[in-house]
Chains A and B, each alone.
Chain A
Amino acid sequence: MVVVSKSPVHSVLYLIITFFTIAGHYVLLNAEFLFIVHIIVYAGAIMVLFLYVIMMLNLNIEMEPHKSTMLKFAATICAGLLLIVLVGSLKGTEALPASAVADPDLGSVQRLGKVMFDEFLLPFEISSVLLLAAMVGAVMLGKSEKANDIL
């Protein structure tokens, strides 16, 4: 649905549905903290960003010129081949042995926080620098030429 719908707005709405179903899977997998973060980051931030850009650029009319049929065919063939490769490689694997008793608070904030600030402290700090760099970069890129003259 995300791929085939004509209008970008419909694509975004289908993508939001997909994200919410993935969030449901996180709840099923005992990852409550990730569930909340997923809802906030994806449905709250990223999708709003997408919708905002679509509205700002006025893209909700279909303006995409038609690709040649051969290219579409080639794209479908490539994706199908990738799926076949994935299926083939996964068929050969044997089932994982059943794990020990599942931990009900595996995804709790407390445990994740202990792990994150203990052994993953350096990546955490680096990701904060990355976010800062992305923010500065986005502002620089999004600045219009007129604003450039003023500065």
Chain B
Amino acid sequence: MNALPIDYYVWLSATLFTIGVLGVLYRRNAIIIFMCIELMLNAVNLLLVAFSARLNDPSGQVFVFFIMAVAAAEVAVGLAILVTMYRATRSTDINILNRLKW
């Protein structure tokens, strides 16, 4: 069933991960930064599933399941922080968080 060579999945994951990193660096809207973090997590998930299918080892898929649980928890807490931040500053621009410095 392994129709595609695993190299393609490696390249696809690397590209997706780089797009996620670019988004985190490029945008200043906190909500889009969260989405880019999701994108990076998904790149890693895809690679784990590809290698697990290649090596006939179900442990990789269990790992992906745990990563999904952690991602869901992270998004819930992160968005709650975002809502709190929006209430305090009326904005989701992360540069405003500079004020936390002092």
6 contacts between A and B (CB under 8 A): A26-B49, A46-B71, A99-B56, A115-B62, A127-B66, A135-B76
Report yes or no: A49 in contact with B32, Cβ–Cβ below 8 A: no
Which of A12, A50, A79, A83 is packed against the most chain B CB atoms within 10 Å?
A79
B53 touches A131 (CB 8 A): no
Our pick among A49, A112, A131 for the contact of B79 (Cβ within 8 Å) is A49
Per the bound structure, the CA–CA distance linking A115 and B55 in Å amounts to 15
Q: Check A64/B49 contact, CB under 8 A, given A130-B69, A131-B69.
A: no
Chain B residue numbers with a CB within 8 Å of A57 are: 82-83, 86, 92
State the Cβ distance, A3 to closest chain B Cβ, in Å.
4
In B64-84, which residues have CB < 8 Å from any A CB? 64-66, 68-77, 79-84
Contacts of A147 in B (CB 8 A): none
Chain B, residues 19-48, CB within 8 Å of chain A (1/0): the string is 101110111110110111011001001100
Interface residues of B, count at CB 8 A: 69
- Kindly report which residue of chain B lies nearest to residue A123, judged by CB atoms: B66
Q: Which chain B residue shows the least CB distance to A83?
A: B18
20 additional contacts (CB under 8 A) given A102-B56, A123-B66, A127-B66: A2-B32, A2-B36, A3-B36, A18-B16, A37-B65, A49-B76, A53-B83, A65-B28, A75-B26, A96-B6, A106-B56, A112-B62, A127-B70, A131-B73, A133-B73, A134-B74, A138-B79, A139-B80, A140-B80, A142-B83
Q: CA separation between A30 and B52, bound complex, in Å?
A: 10
Q: Point out the residue from B35, B53, B62, B87 that lies within 8 Å of A120, measured CB to CB.
A: B62
Residues of B within 8 A of A12 (CB): 35
The answer to whether B54 and A87 touch across the interface, beta carbons within 8 angstroms, is: no
